[in-house]
Amino acid sequence: MSAAMSRPFLKMNGLGNDFVVVEARSAPFEPSAEQVRAWGDRAHGIGFDQLIALEPPEAGSDADAKVRFWNSDGEEISACGNGTRCVGWLLMQASGGDRAVIESKAGRLIATRAAERLVSVDMGPPGLDWQDIPLAREQDTRALSEALSDDPALATPPGCVNMGNPHVVFFVDDLDAAPVTTAGPVLEHHPLFPEAVNVGFAQVIDRGRIRLKVWERGAGLTKACGTGACAALVAAVRRNLTDRSAVIVTDGGELLIEWSAEDDHVIMTGPAAVDFAGELP
């Protein structure tokens, strides 16, 4: 079956970060960038932040499924935290179990049931070396020495984290006044980031709470970004701004992020919801 043929999908969301999830375990699914952009168009298509394909795992693997992600601009990406949580919930609902193992380009991810509609995902360890992000040249990723913006609201040096995709995190005094929609699209394509970057704007409320907005690479401003929430917590801990466990407050709701001191893994816990079912045109 080709991508051009009619194919069922589920529309899901994690804190308003919304996805079209396509079952591709029985027939290959290779959408073109043009198709992804058309489906993702909120005015004329279905509308989504990311498209997700659920594929069979690699031969000999004990994983439940393999996932692929595309941003609404048509580009395939390696990781999507909220999307992984939604897929994990689907797989656990199908199996009746409380654990799902998911393969992705970012590595092996493990989802567990935290409550009726809450899912935890082990996102693995963060990438913190400048080459992990990746950056175009060597920098201290805890606090960049290179100024990226002349906006006074972004005067504090940002931190960089890779959570399966690249993130830069700016700490701001007032999130509501932060230049998210003006600086975000410019910084997304800053030459320091050869693969472009997700741009986070974080306001630390206290040691256990961060407000966050993320301009997502290839998707723009979203209601929530799972990998962005993970990156914000890691960046804050590296600057001793928060504890290793904190609630990340997004426009779509709250995520609990924990960065384990024992195994260096980042655990994300939050809700998953099914909105409706349909067929791709």
Q: Please list the active-site residues.
A: 80, 225
β-bridge pairing 7-14 and 76-77: unpaired
Calculate ∠ Cα 217-147-239, nearest 5°.
80
Q: Which residues, 6+ apart, have CB-to-CB distance to 265 below 8 Å?
A: 122, 123, 124, 125, 259
Query: Torsion-angle region of residue 15: left (phi > 0), alpha (psi -120 to 50) or beta?
Result: left
22's enclosing H/E stretch is strand 17-23
The residue type found at 276 is F
63 CB-near residues (< 8 Å, 6+ apart): 57, 101, 102, 103, 108
Q: What gap in Å lies between CA 211 and CA 59, rounded to an integer?
A: 42
* Cβ–Cβ under 8 Å, residues 56 and 66: yes
Cα–Cα distance measured from residue 168 to residue 26, given in angstroms and rounded to the nearest whole number: 38
Work out whether strand 99-104 and strand 65-71 pair parallel, antiparallel, or are unpaired: parallel
String of DSSP letters for 126-163: PB-STTTTT-SS---TTS-SS-----GGG-SPPEEEES
